[in-house]
């Protein structure tokens, strides 16, 4: 793409613009140019010549800031056969995500400035904005604190040993103390392994029926309780990753009512799927008479009971839970085509996230503007003030935005995924709500050919565009 082409203004015409940062919710046009939002309002289409702008017709669609994912596994460096930064970013664009925070459980892990620099340099050439999360402990071994100051100076936006919890309470206390001084959150994967040494799915009737070791909700709740206590003690910036149990949501609600400044996330799959999906048949247990299982449902934390799903949705709706994070965890086929015990934990989520989440809206569990808040402003606030411009749709802010059809019904087909990870229990499942177009820094990085004219998309883009638009 030439420089001239990258500067072609884009007019998104006639959509329902929802901007949680300003509270705007109404039919309007959005004019984008020079990488930023130029104007938002009714009647902009009449003020520009159709020859001068690329028009995205958005009648019946929602236009909002691009989604910010505080929890993504991009697998590079070390596991490029599962995902690369480039393929993960392309999957993000298809899913409406414009900023990804990459988890540090790579090989080598992101526990020093050189690896941070590698991830950010690779990320600068990707379709969406890539931010790095650094390790809490050296080598993610949970023994010795990583040099958090070095990681922060190198550009890390948070810290996590995700994939593993920070088991050592003394180490967690120290990390939270540093997080307070650095002003960056610690995202902890809460799970006490001593309570679920061989666990592969939620402890309950499904694990009993299949004869597989369970993971009780208390394994998560016990560490959530510890971390809240440590956050209160230290004044640190605690962010609770992927909460899945009703008891955890209630503890966060109580902590917030006492004024403890913690934040928390939930994942799309924990808002839609339940433990019985492990039996195959897409949660329709009547369809699976035989004793079988579906390894694509194996995920950390596990899919749980309908009561837990309901608690996570109501926690998200009332603000107890600040944001949605995908925990996108791509895997190769061999990691899933094996026994349930041997299968890897994780689901490839980026490309189905919106469709899964919209089910909660269509079912009346959460209002659409609230859901969008939890995908944009919520994660930006959990990360810190530097992210605010990327969660706003007002003149002068970076033109990171998504256009989606809230009612489009489509069938998930993993063969169309941009992610190398085709591990999802949703293959073949119908979802309602689909991304039509995604713009990063004013450039269309994805356009859905089933919903929009394919010539909208310019596939060739260079890293300099992202950087010049305030990328880092």
Residue 189 engages Zn ion in binding (rule: CB under 5 A): yes
Residue nearest to Zn ion (CB): 189
Nearer to Zn ion by Cβ, of 131 and 189: the residue is: 189
Q: How far is the CB of 102 from Zn ion (least distance, A)?
A: 13
The side-by-side arrangement of strands in the sheet containing 129-134 is 67-72, 97-102, 129-134, 158-159, 186-188, 238-240, 263-266, 323-324
Q: Total binding residues for Zn ion by CB under 5 A?
A: 2
Among 327, 400, 405, 465, the one annotated catalytic: 327
Q: How far is the CB of 189 from Zn ion (least distance, A)?
A: 3
Helix axes 353-362, 368-375, angle to 10 degrees: 150
Q: How far is the CB of 238 from Zn ion (least distance, A)?
A: 15
Residue 29 engages Zn ion in binding (rule: CB under 5 A): no
Decide: helix, strand or coil at residue 356. helix
Select from 185-193, 312-320, 423-431, 452-460 the region that touches Zn ion (CB under 5 A).
Answer: 185-193
Nearer to Zn ion by Cβ, of 59 and 107: the residue is: 107
Nearer to Zn ion by Cβ, of 106 and 370: the residue is: 106
Helix axes 246-257, 217-234, angle to 10 degrees: 20
Nearer to Zn ion by Cβ, of 140 and 189: the residue is: 189
Nearer to Zn ion by Cβ, of 19 and 162: the residue is: 162
Backbone angles phi, psi at 347, to 5 degrees: -130, 140
Cα 386–314–329 angle (5° rounding)?
A: 60
Nearer to Zn ion by Cβ, of 228 and 366: the residue is: 228
Select from 41-49, 154-162, 289-297, 428-436 the region that touches Zn ion (CB under 5 A).
Answer: 154-162
> Where would I find the beta strands (DSSP E) of 49-169?
54-57, 62-65, 67-72, 97-102, 129-134, 158-159
Select from 133-141, 159-167, 197-205, 308-316 the region that touches Zn ion (CB under 5 A).
Answer: 159-167
Contact (Cβ atoms closer than 8 angstroms) between residue 36 and residue 390: no
Q: How far is the CB of 187 from Zn ion (least distance, A)?
A: 8
Q: How far is the CB of 296 from Zn ion (least distance, A)?
A: 17
Residue 220 engages Zn ion in binding (rule: CB under 5 A): no
Nearer to Zn ion by Cβ, of 242 and 443: the residue is: 242
Structure tokens at 269: 């799959």
Select from 12-20, 109-117, 188-196, 250-258 the region that touches Zn ion (CB under 5 A).
Answer: 188-196
Question: What binding mask, one character per residue, do residues 104-143 give for Zn ion by CB under 5 A, x or -?
Answer: ----------------------------------------
Backbone angles phi, psi at 57, to 5 degrees: -70, 125
Structure tokens at 256: 């917030």
Residues 6+ apart with CB under 8 A from 462: 1, 125
CB atoms within 10 A of CB 291: 9
Q: Is 327 a catalytic residue?
A: yes
Among positions 29, 161, 162, 192, the unique one binding Zn ion when judged by CB under 5 A: 162
Contact (Cβ atoms closer than 8 angstroms) between residue 95 and residue 67: yes
Determine what percent of the chain falls in helix, strand and coil, rounding each to the nearest 5: 35, 20, 40
CA-based nearest residue to 65, from 129, 153, 133 = 129
Select from 17-25, 90-98, 140-148, 184-192 the region that touches Zn ion (CB under 5 A).
Answer: 184-192
Structure tokens at 88: 């993960």
Helix (DSSP H) and strand (DSSP E) numbers for the chain = 14, 18
Nearer to Zn ion by Cβ, of 189 and 282: the residue is: 189
Contact (Cβ atoms closer than 8 angstroms) between residue 299 and residue 343: no
Nearer to Zn ion by Cβ, of 160 and 295: the residue is: 160
Helix axes 85-95, 113-124, angle to 10 degrees: 50
Q: How far is the CB of 346 from Zn ion (least distance, A)?
A: 9
Q: How far is the CB of 148 from Zn ion (least distance, A)?
A: 19
Contact (Cβ atoms closer than 8 angstroms) between residue 157 and residue 237: no
Q: How far is the CB of 341 from Zn ion (least distance, A)?
A: 19
Select from 189-197, 232-240, 424-432, 452-460 the region that touches Zn ion (CB under 5 A).
Answer: 189-197
Q: How far is the CB of 247 from Zn ion (least distance, A)?
A: 18
Near Zn ion in 319-338, by CB under 5 A: none
CA-based nearest residue to 252, from 188, 319, 159 = 319
Q: Which residues bind Zn ion (CB under 5 A)?
A: 162, 189
Q: Which residues are catalytic?
A: 327
């Amino acid at each position: 793409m030439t420089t001239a082409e990258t500067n072609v203004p884009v007019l998104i015409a006639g959509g329902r613009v929802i901007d949680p940062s300003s509270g705007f919710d109404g039919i309007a046009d959005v004019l984008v140019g020079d990488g930023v939002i130029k104007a938002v309002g009714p009647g902009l289409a009449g003020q520009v010549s159709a020859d001068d702008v690329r028009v995205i017709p958005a009648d019946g669609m929602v236009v909002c800031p691009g989604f910010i994912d505080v929890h993504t596994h991009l697998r590079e460096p070390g596991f490029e056969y599962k995902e690369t930064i480039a393929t993960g970013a392309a999957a993000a664009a298809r899913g409406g995500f414009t900023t990804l925070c990459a988890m540090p459980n790579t090989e080598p892990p992101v526990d020093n400035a050189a690896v941070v620099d590698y991830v950010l340099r690779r990320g600068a050439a990707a379709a969406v904005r890539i931010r790095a999360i650094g390790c809490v402990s050296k080598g993610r071994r949970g023994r010795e604190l990583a040099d958090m100051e070095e990681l922060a100076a190198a550009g890390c936006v948070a810290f996590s040993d995700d994939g593993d919890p920070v088991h050592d309470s003394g180490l967690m206390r120290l990390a939270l103390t540093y997080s307070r001084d650095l002003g960056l959150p610690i995202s902890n994967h809460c799970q006490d392994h001593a309570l679920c040494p061989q666990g592969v799915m939620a402890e309950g009737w499904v694990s009993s029926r299949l004869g597989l070791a369970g993971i009780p909700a208390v394994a998560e709740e016990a560490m959530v309780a510890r971390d809240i206590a440590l956050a209160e003690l230290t004044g640190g910036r605690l962010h609770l990753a992927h909460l899945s149990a009703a008891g955890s949501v209630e503890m966060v609600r109580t902590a917030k009512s006492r004024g403890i400044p913690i934040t928390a996330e939930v994942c799309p799959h924990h808002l839609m799927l339940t433990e019985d999906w492990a039996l195959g048949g897409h949660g329709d247990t009547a369809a699976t008479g035989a004793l079988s299982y579906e390894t694509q449902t194996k995920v950390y934390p596990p899919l749980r009971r309908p009561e837990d799903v309901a608690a996570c949705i109501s926690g998200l709706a009332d603000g107890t839970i600040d944001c949605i994070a995908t925990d996108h965890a791509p895997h190769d086929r061999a990691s899933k085509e094996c026994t349930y015990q041997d299968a890897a934990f994780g689901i490839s989520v980026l490309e189905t996230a919106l469709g899964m989440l919209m089910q909660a809206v269509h079912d009346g569990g959460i209002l659409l503007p609230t859901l969008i808040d939890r995908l944009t402003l919520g994660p930006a606030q959990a990360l810190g003030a530097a992210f605010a411009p990327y969660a706003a749709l007002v003149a002068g802010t970076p033109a990171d935005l998504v256009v989606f059809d809230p009612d489009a019904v489509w069938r998930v087909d993993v063969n169309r995924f941009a992610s190398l990870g085709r591990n999802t229990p949703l293959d073949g499942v119908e979802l309602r709500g689909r991304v039509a177009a995604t713009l990063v820094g004013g450039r269309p990085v994805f356009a859905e050919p089933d919903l929009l004219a394919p010539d909208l998309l310019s596939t060739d883009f260079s890293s300099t565009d992202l950087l010049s638009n305030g990328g880092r």
